[in-house]
Structure 1
């Protein structure tokens, strides 16, 4: 067998390795923040740290799989590696995430989430902003009221949430008579 018939050993896939290491760093941040969650002695076996720990464990497993794949040459097919990065689209996605982080406190969860949703949709190629606003509003309200009403967790009430809570409370008061 000649050396030209042998395949070259796989080289490290640096971008994929950075993604795996970045995800591992995010898992470490989740662990650090989870340890900061106060636990009351009133909780039995399942407390407020359980789901963050499950999330962190999943992130660790996925990051290790990504790192192993990167060390074996990466997971991207060659034709994907040759495709140039669409920096404009990436900018809209990043702008959506930054907007959510900066606007959630002054505007509330719903408004910040809708803005993020529209920007991310635009980054992924959607050119139907009205549809994206409506879908984002439905998803954000479902998430907000799921956390606020079902779990009793305030994830950032703002003007939209306060107005809807006022309407809901008025309707409940009318029904109870």
Structure 2
């Protein structure tokens, strides 16, 4: 005998399905861009495309699991599905991501990442922007110098990196 909860659990969950499809599209883009990476025949088995291929495969597997879960009714409990979207918080998270894209070229990786971190923290409910900025600064500098010094990859030096002698 099916109860109401059993019926709800077997319904198709469109929002979760769309998330799975979006993630599958991201996996396809990663794969497409990985195929465009020039690989020298000097590399034996491990080259510059190993980690991007692993990322594409991981994203594809995760997206397929999310799609299957959506077809089985979704992964959210019923009471969470009825919770209204907090559009103000969502706007701050999206604003943080857009700010990073817009500011990375003129300000550099670190400053843009700090702005993004503070906006996203506020979107998630933080009321401590100074603390968030300091945490964001430490994380962004660690990421920047990890890429710049350890890997030799320039991910966007700006005024903060210049002041620190990058």
Deviation track 1:104-145 (CA, whole Å, cap 9, x = no partner) reads 111111011000000000000001000000000000000000
Q: Which residues of 2 match residues 24-173 of structure 1 at below 5 A?
A: 24-165=24-165
Q: What TM-score, normalized to structure 1?
A: 0.87
Aligned equivalents of 1:143 and 1:74: distance in 2? 35
Aligned equivalents of 1:36 and 1:14: distance in 2? 33
Quick check: 78-87 or 157-166, which moved more?
Answer: 157-166
Deviation track 1:131-169 (CA, whole Å, cap 9, x = no partner) reads 000000000000000011011111111111122126xxx
2:12 is paired with a residue of what secondary structure? coil
Deviation track 1:16-60 (CA, whole Å, cap 9, x = no partner) reads 000000000011111111122222334332222111111111101
Structure 2 gaps, min length 5? none
1:76 is paired with a residue of what secondary structure? coil
Aligned equivalents of 1:103 and 1:53: distance in 2? 29
- Name the structure 1 match of 2:19: 19
Q: What TM-score, normalized to structure 2?
A: 0.92
Shift in CA distance, 78/58, structure 1 to aligned 2, threshold 3 Å: same
Give 4+ residue runs of structure 1 displaced > 4 Å after superposition: none
Number of matched pairs: 165
Aligned equivalents of 1:52 and 1:46: distance in 2? 12
1:52 is paired with a residue of what secondary structure? helix
Shift of 1:4: 7.2
Aligned equivalents of 1:63 and 1:118: distance in 2? 29
